[in-house]
Structure 1
Amino acid sequence: MHYPLSEKYMTDELMAKIMGPNPIKLEEELLTNHQIPQGATVCDLGSGQGLTSVFLVKEYGFTVYAADL
């Protein structure tokens, strides 16, 4: 699968913060053909350092509440 949105974020700095599979790519794949309207409020559970939360705001225009231990 091609990940045009997440490719913009493949920097050394971001990659150093990722543990395991790339969460940005996973998020983009999960949101393929989504019907969530821009500006919707979503909850990013297990957000870690907030990388996925920032991605949701910048690329999808969501309002994001993030929660992690």
Structure 2
Amino acid sequence: VDDVLVWEAPWEGVRPPAVDPAAVRAMTDRLRAGGYDTALVLTSFHQSPLPAALLLRLAGVGRVGADST
């Protein structure tokens, strides 16, 4: 593991934060700037890893693995 990023995503939680397009762009830019070639998204059983995986792909991450346990 080279890096761990934690972000309060606007699609997670009982009361998710409002969607802030600038914050989503900032996270996408941060991911792109990191130059990551591989990412792993881990979520709990009631959360989908797909939105985070899409964000990673939009940031140019070529290989994304995801699991919901």
- Which range, TM-score by smaller chain? 0.3 to 0.5
Query: Which of the pair is proportionally richer in helix?
Result: 1
TM-score by length of 2: 0.46
